[in-house]
Amino acid sequence: MRLKFFFTTVPGILMISAQCFAQHLRERDIPFVTLDFFKGEVKKESPYRAYMGVKILYRLDSLQQLNTEEFKVKFITKVEPDRAGNFFDLDRVPSEEIEYVLNHERGHLVIGFICANKLEKIISGGTWSKNFRKEIHEEYLKQLKKISRLHDEYDEGTRHGVWKKEQAKWDRRLRELFINTY
């Protein structure tokens, strides 16, 4: 009887432990994009019919000093669309294409979530010196540059959502990339 109790309890403990250290941004956290996400003034000179900017905010949730020279931090991110800077030109998007364009712009939001989870994993998993604030900010900027390239690849690969078959492939790819950040 005791042995049975041990085996049924251990998986529950392991499951709880794994959940405590999992990344906090999950697929359910990524909102579906609506026209309400686009509050910025339409830029008529823009080559794009819509634009989705993404903000990745962060905070250092906890700090652990390992020794006199090394620190660990708990790095927490938050992803927000830049509603004030986002625009959607309804004059250039036929009504039957609005959902496709919204879906494409959501992809940029997903890329922001991918970056946020990668940042959490890298920074929370790293060991930092006394200059941890500077080092963490440098890592943050480095990851933002990398993710900027992914935004460009995404736009080029889908022709800004115009190529529907390619868009569907990218939707699957971005979902997989995001899930792999857990």
Q: Mean pLDDT for each consecutive 10-residue tract of the chain (182 residues)?
A: 36 34 74 97 95 95 95 95 97 97 98 96 96 96 93 96 96 96 86
Residue 142 dihedral angles phi and psi, to the nearest 5°: -60, -45
Kindly report the backbone phi and psi dihedral angles of residue 91, in degrees, each rounded to the nearest multiple of 5, phi listed first.
-70, -25
**What is the pLDDT at residue 18?**
33
Place of tokens 């790095």: 75
CA 125-128-134 angle, 5° bins: 115
Give the span between the Cα atoms of 16 and 9, in whole angstroms. Answer: 11
Cα angle vertex 148, ends 142, 151, to 5°?
Answer: 150
Instruction: With H, G, I as helix, E, B as strand and everything else as coil, classify residue 181.
Output: coil
Helix (H) or strand (E) holding 151, with range, is helix 132-158
Contact 86, 47 (CB under 8 A): no
pTM to 2 decimal places: 0.84
Per-residue confidence (pLDDT) for residue 23, from 0 to 100? 53
Q: Which helix (H) or strand (E) holds 117?
A: helix 98-125
